[in-house]
């Protein structure tokens, strides 16, 4: 796999030997989330707005380290583990995308995430899955066994957020697999313009939030981090999961 870095209009991009963008960083704001889908993956912080949540987070796929850097900066008490299959991606993220040094709160594991999820280990409050090959295929990361293993590694009231990508913008089969693994407690946003769709799945107690609570959480998050998820809250309001103005999962 060829790894390439390009720059345009103040934004640095990561590619795996093709035009597909595997990550991006605005050079003047390396800690911000440049791509729409990465911002939407932070929906978890609207659904669990406590500052000390998540205690533990697992990120599958490093890419340009956007999600890693955002959580590392804005949730400093979170213990973050990143699983990345390609050691060269880790090296490029350090050299070109300001990946922080490993510490007691950041652990980079070079491994196949499918194997990693089958092992015994700590449970995580949050699992973020964003892993693709050079042809933008998720492979085994978009299978029922993988989603079942993700569920087994979640702590009580844990949450899975996964990035789905399709040239045809057809995510029905992926969402069906996630729902099967999570007893139907999952939903997906409508596709972003670039062909990504973000799916959310939860376990534990029923999660119920009014649109007013979600919007208040979005305003608070924007003040804390600069990340504006009010458009995401509006997209939630339009989804079938918000019947009667209440998000219920």
- 115 among known catalytic residues: no
Give the active site residue among 36, 115, 130, 193: 130
- Tell which residue, 150, 148, 199, 146, has the closest CA to residue 171: 199
Taking every pair of Cα atoms in the chain, the longest distance, rounded to a whole number of angstroms, is: 49
Helix ranges, the chain (H) = 36-41, 44-47, 66-74, 87-96, 113-118, 144-152, 172-181, 211-225, 230-237
Which residues are annotated as catalytic? 130
């Amino acid at each position: 796999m060829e790894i390439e870095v390009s720059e345009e209009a103040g934004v640095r991009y990561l590619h795996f030997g093709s035009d597909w963008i595997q990550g991006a960083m605005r050079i003047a704001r390396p800690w911000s989330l440049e791509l729409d889908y990465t911002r939407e993956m932070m929906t978890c912080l609207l659904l669990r707005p406590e500052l000390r949540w998540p205690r533990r987070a697992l990120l599958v796929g490093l890419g340009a380290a956007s999600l890693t850097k955002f959580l590392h900066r804005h949730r400093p008490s979170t213990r973050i583990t990143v699983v990345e299959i390609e050691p060269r991606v880790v090296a490029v993220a350090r050299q070109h995308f300001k990946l922080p040094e490993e510490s007691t709160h950041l652990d980079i594991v070079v491994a196949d995430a499918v194997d990693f999820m089958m092992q015994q280990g700590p449970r995580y409050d949050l699992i973020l899955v964003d892993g693709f090959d050079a042809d933008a295929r998720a492979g085994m990361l978009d299978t029922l066994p993988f989603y079942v293993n993700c569920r087994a590694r979640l702590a009580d009231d844990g949450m899975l957020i996964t990035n789905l990508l399709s040239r045809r913008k057809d995510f029905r089969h992926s969402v069906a697999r996630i729902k099967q693994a999570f007893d139907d407690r999952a939903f997906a946003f409508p596709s972003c313009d670039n062909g990504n769709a973000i799916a959310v799945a939860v376990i534990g107690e029923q999660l119920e939030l009014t649109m007013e609570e979600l919007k208040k959480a979005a305003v608070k998050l924007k003040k804390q981090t600069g990340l504006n998820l009010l458009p995401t809250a509006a997209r939630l309001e339009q989804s079938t999961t918000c019947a009667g103005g209440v998000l219920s999962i």
